[in-house]
Amino acid sequence: MNLILLGAPGAGKGTQAEVICQHLSIPAISTGNMIREALKSGTEMGLKAKSFMDAGKLVPDEVVIGIVKERLAQDDCKNGFVLDGFPRTIPQAEALDKMVKIDKVIDLEVSDEAIIARMSGRRVCEKCGATYHLLYKKPKAEGVCDICGGTLIQRKDDHPDTVKARLEVYHKETEPLIAHYKKQGVVKRVDGQEEVADTTRLTLAALEA
Q: Is 123 a catalytic residue?
A: no
Indicate if 88 belongs to the active site.
yes
In three state form, how does the secondary structure of 87-102 look? CCCHHHHHHHHHHCCC
Helices (H) and strands (E) in the chain, counts: 9, 8
48, 71, 104, 122: the catalytic one is 122
Say whether 108 sits in a helix, a strand or coil: strand
Q: How far apart are CA 71 and CA 37, in angstroms?
A: 9
DSSP per-residue letters across 134-157: TTTB--SBTTB-TTT-PBEE--GG
Q: Is residue 5 a contact partner of residue 84, using CB atoms and an 8 Å limit?
A: yes
Catalytic residue among 13, 48, 71, 118: 13
Task: Name residue 5's beta-bridge partners.
Answer: 84, 106
Q: Facing residues of 191 across strands?
A: 109
155 in catalytic set: yes
DSSP reduced 3-state for 198:
helix
Q: Looking at 104, 123, 166, 188, which residue is catalytic? A: 166
Altogether, the residues listed in the chain come to a count of 209
Active-site hit among 155, 164, 172, 182: 155
Considering the candidates 50, 88, 137, 189, report the single residue annotated as catalytic.
Answer: 88
Catalytic residue check, 201: no
Please say if 122 is a catalytic residue.
Answer: yes
Residue type, 60: P
**Catalytic residue IDs:** 13, 88, 122, 155, 166
